[in-house]
Amino acid sequence: MNKNISLIIGDIFRWFIALMILPLLLWLIFLFFMYPFEWLLSISTKWNLFFHIFFWLFIGSIILGFATAIGGLISYLTKYLVRQTKTYAVVLFVALLALVGFCIYVAWSDYIDFSWEYLRYSTLNKIIFSISVLGMLQIPIQIFGSTLEE
């Protein structure tokens, strides 16, 4: 009986860490990328459209590759942290889907003015931002995929 109670308490504690610490880490990484994103966007909009698109295809693939690497690290950590890894992947996917949806809505609405709205290619800049933010959804997908390999 004591073993079952300690497992339940341990699971609650692990889920608390997994739902508070790891999403906070993802949020900080997202904020870390926002300032260089805006700075690079302000530089690249001074070029012609071809070089602007070519530059962001290259940079976008690096950002998505880095997000995939972070997803691999988080999936490795959650295998040891949470015993119900598939359930955690679904919960994290729903939470990140809400965050990504909110970010895309704010970028395309007129409630907040981002710096790229005053630069050239403002619609293209919003598309680039939306694609970059959608890369965050690779993280819970990779966590779920790593559980299927076992």
Which residue is it, tokens 């076992």? 150
Arithmetic mean of pLDDT, 4-15 = 74
Q: How far, in Å, CA of 38 to CA of 56, rounded? A: 12
Q: How far, in Å, CA of 52 to CA of 74, rounded? A: 32
Q: Is the pLDDT of residue 148 over 70?
A: no
Q: Is the pLDDT of residue 149 over 60?
A: no
Q: Around 120, how many Cα atoms within 13 Å sit in the side-chain half-sphere? A: 10
Q: Model confidence over 70-121: pLDDT tens digits?
A: 766 776 677 677 777 777 777 777 877 887 888 888 888 877 777 666 777 7
Q: Is the pLDDT of residue 147 over 70?
A: no
| pLDDT given for residue 11 in this prediction | 76
Compute the C-alpha angle 33/37/43, nearest 5°. Answer: 155
Most confident of 29-33, 35-39, 40-44, 47-51: 47-51
φ/ψ region of 121 (left if φ > 0, alpha if ψ in -120 to 50, else beta) reads left
Encoded tokens for 101: 């949806």
Collapsed DSSP state (helix, strand, coil) of residue 8: helix
What is the distance between the terminal CA atoms of the chain, rounded to a whole angstrom?
A: 30
pTM: 0.66
Q: Which of 83, 71, 79, 74 is nearest to 7 (CA)?
A: 83
Q: Model confidence over 37-46: pLDDT tens digits?
A: 778 778 888 8
